[in-house]
Every structure is written in C-alpha cells, then in structure tokens.
Amino acid sequence: MENTNNLFFREIELAGEIYRVSDLPSALGGSLARLPIVLRLLAENVLRNTDGRERDEAVAAIRAWLPAGTSDAEIAYQPGRVLMHDTTSTPALVDIAAMRNALDEAGVAPEVLNPCLPVDVSIDHSLAVEAYASRDAATVNLQTEIRRNAERYRFLRWASSALDNVRIHPPGTGIMHTINLEQLATVVTTECRDGHIWAVPDMMLGTDSHTPMVNGIGVLGWGVGGLEAQTVMFGMPTMLRIPDVIGVRLTGALRAGIQASDLALVVTNRLRVLGVTGEFVEFFGPGVSTLSAGDRSVVANMAPEYGATTGFFAVDEHTLAYLRSTGRSESHLRLVEAYARLQGIWFDPQAHPRYSREIEIDLSAIGWHIAGPRRPQDLLDYGDSAKALEAVHFEPASAGNIPCHAVALAAITSCTNTSDPVLLIAAGLVARKARALGLRVPHWVKTSLAPGSPAAASYLERAGLLDDLAAIGFGIVGFGCTTCIGNSGPLTTPIRDAQQAGQAKAVAILSGNRNFPGRVHPDIELSFIMSPPMVIAFGLAGDASRNLRDEAVQATEDGTPVYLEDLMPSRNEVLEILARANSPEDYARDFAIASQNPAWHAIEAPATALFPWDEKSTALRRPPFASLSEGSLLGEYQAYPLLIVGDDVTTDHISPASGIPPDSLVADYLVERGDDRNDLNVFASRRGNWEVMMRAAFHSKTLNNLLAPQAPVAHTLHVPSGDVEPIWEVAQRYRQEGQSVVLLAGERYGMGSSRDWAAKGQRLLGIRAVLAVSFERIHRSNLIGMGILPLKFPEGIGPASLRLRPGDRVEIHAPSESLAPRAPVDVKILRKNGSVESLQATAAVETLLEVALLRTGGVMPSILLKAVSDAKKTAGSGVA
C-alpha cells in the first residue's frame, strides 16, 4: 500500500486496482473509532470537497464533537448525486426553465444554466389506482397516467434533453427509493478527478423525505426540499451543523414471523417519544447483525416518521449479500468491502462509538404491530385497532350493510414495505393460504399491490405467488407510489354510499409509512399502517375494528374460523421461497425493459435551450419567483396574520397532493380554462402551474384555521372588512392594500413530505414570516429557500396562549443586517384594543448560508445572481 505522505489523500490498491482515497484514518487519528460512522462519513466528505483553512477547521470541529457529543459548528456537505421524483422534479425543473428565461432576458446565454451534479428523476408519484383486481389493471393504470400527465411528461422529456446531467426514469420503472437501492446506489463509487481515479463513499441527497431508505445499505443520504436540492445541483454545498447522533443499540433477534415493518413501527414510536427531530440516528450493537439489508432499509426508510434526518446502518456482510442478490458484480463487492475496511467504516457489532444519546431495543421482545389511526408513531398491538377506533367516537346515523369501520382500502403500497422481497413473499404466502381456504375479500374493500420494483413481479411469479395474490384481489396495479401518496383512486360504491349516509367511517389499511387524515384519500380520515401480510389479513376481515388477536379473520364456507396464525407464514417458509425465487439478473433486466416504456418514448419533446411555454397550458406556467427581481422579505414591519393554525400542520395541509375536488375553486379555475371537471387529476400533477398551486395552498378539509374556524375549506378572514374569502384572494387584497402578512402555527409546523410547494405557496400568498412553536426540518429549510423567515416562539408561547383575535397584528423586527443563525428577533403583538405585548422570538435559521439566502430573497435569486456574475467575469476575461 502506497502512501503519498499527503495527510488528506493517498493512493492505494483496492481489490486489485489503484485508487486515490481520502486519508480518513490519518485525518481523524484516535478519534476515528470513537466517532459515530455517520460523522466519519461527513469527515470524509469534508476532506475531499474542501481545502485549506475550511477543511482544517471542519475536521478539527468533527474531532471536537467527541467530548460533549454535540457541536454548534457548521460544516459543508457536498453530495455526489441528487435523486428526485416527478412531483418534486417538475417544479424544480420548471424553476430551472424559468431561470433560463430570466438569464436570457438579462442577456446571458441560457445554456450556461445546468445542474453540475448527476440528477436522477423517477416518475413514480403520479400512478393512481383506477383499475384494480383485474388482469390488465397495471396496463390500464399506466396508460391513464401517461394520458393524464402528457403535457407534464413532455416537459420532463424536454428537460432530460435540454439540461446536462438530468436522467429520467420513466413511469413503470418503480419507486425512487427502490430504484435507488437496486439500481443507483453503489455504496462505494469511483470517479475521475484531476486525472486520478478516486474511490469515494456514495453520498447523496433526495427531494423526498424517505431518501434515508438507502441508509439501510450504508449510503449516507437524506431528504431535502427541492429548493435545497437546487442549491447543491448548482454547485453550492449545503451547510449543516455537525449533528447530534442518536445511537440505537439493537440486541437479540426478531422472533419467527415478525416482520421488519413491525420493527420499523416500534423504532418510530420509541424515537418519537425520545424526540430526535433534525438529528442523525445510527443503529449499532449485536442485533444489527441479525437483520438483513432489506430489514434495515425498511427501518431506515421511516426516519422522517421518527423525525430524524437519517436512520443509518453501516456496511457489513449483509450489505454485500444484498448487493449480490440484486445483481451487482463481484469485483464491485470486493471494492466496497476493501474500501469500508480501509476507512474504518465497516460495521463491527461489538463496537460502541460515542453517541449524543442512546436507547436500546431488544428485537426479541417485538411482536406484531399496527400504527394509527392518525399518526405513524401511535403504535398499537395488532389486536387493539378497535380500542383506538373507539377513541374516534363515531356514532353511525343508522345501521348499514357494512361494518361501521369498514376497510375501504387494503393497499400493499410504498417503498417502505414493498422493496424488501421478504415482505412481499410473506404477503404472497398469506394470499396462498387464504386462497386455498376459499377466503374472499369483502366486496366493499378496494385492494391493490404496487411494488417498488418491476423485479418483484419476476420473483413473485417464479414463486407462483403472483397468481395467489391476484386470486384474492391483490394483483399488481403498477409500479409506483399509488395509495401511499394519496393516488388511491375512487373508493368502492358501498363505501361511498355508507359514508354519505353517515353509516360508516371507513378506514384505510396500508403498508405505507404515513396515515395523516386525508393523506391516502381525501374522504378517509382514519388509516392503520402495518406489514404487507397484515394488510391482506385486515383486507380479508373487511373490518378495521376486528381484533385479529382473538377473533377469526374470516370463516371458511363450512363455517370453520380462520385465525391470523393460520395464515401468517414463518420466516423460514419465506426465506426458503426467496432462495428459490430470487434471481440477481432480474433487477437490471426488468428495470431496463421498464425503461424502454414505448408510450414514454413516443412523447415528442421540443429540442430548444428555452422551454416554449404555452400561455394556454393548465399544467405548466412560468413562475414569477424564478427571477432576478425577487427581493428579500426581511425587514421591520407590521403584518396581519393570514392564517393561524395549531399543532401538527403537515405539508399535505399546506399544499395538498391528492385528487382535486371537482367542486372546488381550483376546479372552477381549471374548468374555465378548458379542463374536464371529471378528470382534473391530483394537485401534485399541477405543481408546474403556480396559479393552480397558489389557489391550492391550505386546501384541506382537516386544517383548522383558528382565525376563521367556521370558514369553508381554503378560506380566511380579511381584516378590517371582516369578509371571509378564498385565502389567495385575501392575500391579493392585502397586497393591493400594501399590507404585509405572516402566519402563526403551533408545534411541528410543516410535518410530512419534503414538498417545496408548501413553501412556494406561502411565498405566492405574500407570507413574509412564519412564527411557530417548532418546525419540521425540511419545511423550515424550504421556507428559507423561498426567502420566508421562520421564527420560533419563546418557550411556553404559541397560537393557543396568544389567543389572537381578528384585527390583532404582529410587528416583526428582522432587518437584514442583524439577522444571524439562531439570533433573537423582537416581536410585538399589537392588539386591536391598543395594548401591546412584546416577546423575543428566535430566528429558526441554522447557518450563514441560510442567512445569505434570506438576504437575497431565496435560492433562485441567489443562483441567478451567481450565474450573471459568472457570465460577467467570463465576458470580462475575454473568454467567449
């Protein structure tokens, strides 16, 4: 092994080839083994991507993290790639297209604006379950998706040809996080820099909160908003405070028949109780070695549900086994192992690094679980759904023909629980046993199976389980997000009728990761999340309040009761089938076949540097905020609250993704422009049209606007007129009157997905600052990306204690020059009766880069100012 005697990198032989690598062991010295592995990886990133004083200070700060297990120091992070999906990429790419227009208008060649990192875009979020329980359901749903989204997909095809470094994975290729695990992740990557071949850890960012799924195979990556992704795409690092790292020590082993989904729900519950928002989580201890990489990825996937940035598992033999089982080459596996061992990032079950805080989970104590009916952290024993539903206090208006808490949707859905073949094979075995016993899903239940990977069809078919699943209604409806993102399609007629008559409050049963009211369907407030085999069991029961611990799932034709234990397979049964049915060749081949999707390739795209906007389009409009003239919203001002909301307001509340109600104002706007009221698609499909999304902001039946509690959906109060009008119209009135507006919120404002439209919508409404008790991490960052100042109330103060009344105003003192990370900001409450209350809020701003973004008005003005300045420098230097 050769060492060039450079402290920061060296040339070595790994798996028979010579590579340049960061010299992590020399840089970290004795600290290496005591630091959590996620911090070792951040140190590697700093070593490779910074230099001089910045590098020395960052490495020293990471070493200095050890004594206290915490730090206030900021470091730069530069991922090697970015992953997006169609609904976050469309607005990001629309922004880039609009920024190209802005450059063109400023006299700068638009072609100069291109992402400098590889950007993978998965088109997975727009597939809806229109057809189900039929042989051609997947084909019908795919055709419907492409027809409905034709204009948006034409734009994405333009982006992939007009922009450098953008690669699009068409509809049908699977769910982004499964694609990441199976196709994109290398764990250790090789790249050419300055004429040398480097071996580097695969590190990434994704514009989706479930990006940490890839942490399950030792790839460091997390979810960011589309705006933060734009920052890194255009060559700026993302800055982060060296995180606290929560160590979760796993002991024991899962008992036979207990699934990774059960473990993920337990972890979610335990970490939500502990409180890990915004922190990194790393799993360690001997229990880790009993989990497959598939199990780990399920647990890692739910990091946003436990509130963490990551849920990291380091590389070991199980990681290599996963890479092998999904078709990666043996030579690559050798490189991964050699690199991880050399750099001290290979997992050791006996090691006990220093963590900021620790908890221990005994895997052998975990049983079958479900979670709900409104939040993923509300863990229940699988027999306790009835108890949880009792708390809902639903009194049926009259007796109906279906159970009062009938199962409306039984969906095997989501990257979380359809990426691990073990879970789908377990579901298939439940289906096989149910089929053999002649059990049927009741007619009111809408069933679906939407795997994350087309390879799932191959291994299920080889195992003969595809037939069993289809026979009881769980045939494949496509490869995409479907029910998990709210694209569950229409409910069955018996459910719709019973709900309308007040006879039932139906429940969704899904193997997803989130169950906020309205998330999976606008008319479904209650949902339980659980493992895929358990979804089938509840689907067969047809009644979400059935206690499957003590009561039968169903009876056979001759009246013999069938219990859950009769249906659930043992782990050995599953593993035996997996060994026979899985073929490593499936993964690359099936993905390549799906990528050739002829309907996708038939979409014609314009071949121009500037996108030709169509003034009549209802899908794509040039957004006003991607411009050089957007100014900073900082300053000293008085403002009316546009809305006041309570705790746990999610990004689904702020910017819905689900179906556009045909009787809504948004529908009226679209119909006036020629769209068909009965085929308006989902809000998420309109994120290229800012006029729709501005009207859609806060369009949620379950959002309670404390300023006007009785107002219709998406309405608020205008002061002083007292008029209750659509929110965007009230916002327009305030703008015309020269009034500023702010928003007040309770705890965890912006929970849920990473959608940047939740922040863009607020910017379009003119909101200058959001004052909240606390913010969810990604939404806080998105607000800053749009130039909106997030402010935290002082301890003990919030909308509930302030009791603002119509006519009360808020005065904010946040001049640009005095803003700093976590700086105090003076706020006054100006009561209508003339009294004044002062309080000191805190800027929820973490880094100097965020301060700079707020000073320029957000990410897009910053990118444009830099592009113009670079162009001037180039022109000044005489370079053409």
Q: The tokens of 593 are what?
A: 């076949």
Query: 468 with 475: CB under 8 angstroms?
Result: no
Shortest spacing between CB 229 and ligand SF4, in angstroms: 15
Q: Which of 299, 271, 297, 294 is nearest to 360 (CA)?
A: 271
The DSSP annotation for 766-786 comes to TEEEEEES-B-HHHHHHHHHT
Measured from the CB atom, the residue of 88 and 774 that comes closer to ligand SF4 is 88
Q: How many helices (H) and strands (E) does the chain have?
A: 33, 32
Measured from the CB atom, the residue of 40 and 374 that comes closer to ligand SF4 is 374
The DSSP annotation for 701-715 comes to TT---TTSTTSPTTE
Query: 671 with 720: CB under 8 angstroms?
Result: no
Shortest spacing between CB 158 and ligand SF4, in angstroms: 24
What is the C-alpha to C-alpha distance for residues 423 and 412, in angstroms, rounded to an integer? 10
Contacts of 627 (CB under 8 A, 6+ apart): 98, 102, 860, 861, 864
Query: 281 with 306: CB under 8 angstroms?
Result: yes
> Can you say whether residue 767 is alpha, beta or left, with left for phi > 0 and alpha for psi between -120 and 50 degrees?
beta
Question: In whole angstroms, how far apart are CA 262 and each of 225, 370, 429, 526, 767?
Answer: 29, 7, 18, 19, 41
Shortest spacing between CB 612 and ligand SF4, in angstroms: 31
* Residue 680: HSE in the Cβ half-sphere, 13 Å Cα cutoff: 23
Shortest spacing between CB 414 and ligand SF4, in angstroms: 4
Measured from the CB atom, the residue of 138 and 540 that comes closer to ligand SF4 is 138
Residues listed for the chain: 880
Shortest spacing between CB 521 and ligand SF4, in angstroms: 14
Measured from the CB atom, the residue of 447 and 754 that comes closer to ligand SF4 is 754
Measured from the CB atom, the residue of 49 and 211 that comes closer to ligand SF4 is 211
What is the C-alpha to C-alpha distance for residues 12 and 339, in angstroms, rounded to an integer? 10
Query: 546 with 382: CB under 8 angstroms?
Result: no
Note the residues at the interface with ligand SF4 (CB under 6 A).
124, 175-177, 208, 210, 414-415, 481, 484-485, 513
* Count of other CB atoms within 10 angstroms of residue 628: 17
Measured from the CB atom, the residue of 204 and 854 that comes closer to ligand SF4 is 204
Shortest spacing between CB 211 and ligand SF4, in angstroms: 9
Q: Which of 496, 539, 281 is nearest to 407 (CA)?
A: 539
Q: Which of 33, 73, 112, 305 is nearest to 872 (CA)?
A: 112
Measured from the CB atom, the residue of 153 and 479 that comes closer to ligand SF4 is 479
Query: 541 with 530: CB under 8 angstroms?
Result: no
Instruction: State the DSSP code for 180.
Output: I
Contacts of 324 (CB under 8 A, 6+ apart): 330, 333, 584
Measured from the CB atom, the residue of 177 and 369 that comes closer to ligand SF4 is 177
Shortest spacing between CB 764 and ligand SF4, in angstroms: 24
Measured from the CB atom, the residue of 388 and 484 that comes closer to ligand SF4 is 484
Shortest spacing between CB 763 and ligand SF4, in angstroms: 24
Shortest spacing between CB 127 and ligand SF4, in angstroms: 10
Measured from the CB atom, the residue of 183 and 545 that comes closer to ligand SF4 is 183
For the stretch 230-255, what's the b/e string if a residue is b when 16 or more beta carbons lie within 10 angstroms of its beta carbon? bbbbbebbbbbbbbbbbbbbbeeebe
What is the C-alpha to C-alpha distance for residues 403 and 533, in angstroms, rounded to an integer? 22
The DSSP annotation for 665-701 comes to HHHHHHHHTT--TT---BGGGGTT-HHHHHHHTT--T
Shortest spacing between CB 209 and ligand SF4, in angstroms: 7
Whether residue 373 has a cis bond before it, omega within 30° of 0 = yes
Shortest spacing between CB 175 and ligand SF4, in angstroms: 5
Measured from the CB atom, the residue of 374 and 514 that comes closer to ligand SF4 is 514
Q: Which of 82, 90, 77, 83 is nearest to 756 (CA)?
A: 90
Instruction: State the DSSP code for 344.
Output: T
Measured from the CB atom, the residue of 414 and 503 that comes closer to ligand SF4 is 414
Query: 827: which strand partners?
Result: 812, 839
Shortest spacing between CB 480 and ligand SF4, in angstroms: 7
Shortest spacing between CB 413 and ligand SF4, in angstroms: 7
Measured from the CB atom, the residue of 305 and 586 that comes closer to ligand SF4 is 305
Q: The tokens of 4 are what?
A: 């060039």
Measured from the CB atom, the residue of 75 and 176 that comes closer to ligand SF4 is 176
Rg (CA), the chain: 26
Shortest spacing between CB 192 and ligand SF4, in angstroms: 32
What is the C-alpha to C-alpha distance for residues 241 and 39, in angstroms, rounded to an integer? 11
Identity of residue 178 = T
Shortest spacing between CB 686 and ligand SF4, in angstroms: 17
Q: Which of 519, 488, 767, 786 is nearest to 644 (CA)?
A: 767
Measured from the CB atom, the residue of 124 and 652 that comes closer to ligand SF4 is 124
Measured from the CB atom, the residue of 354 and 755 that comes closer to ligand SF4 is 755
Measured from the CB atom, the residue of 297 and 582 that comes closer to ligand SF4 is 297
Contacts of 215 (CB under 8 A, 6+ apart): 221, 222, 296, 297, 300, 303, 310, 311, 312, 313
What is the C-alpha to C-alpha distance for residues 267 and 271, in angstroms, rounded to an integer? 6
Measured from the CB atom, the residue of 486 and 542 that comes closer to ligand SF4 is 486
Shortest spacing between CB 220 and ligand SF4, in angstroms: 19
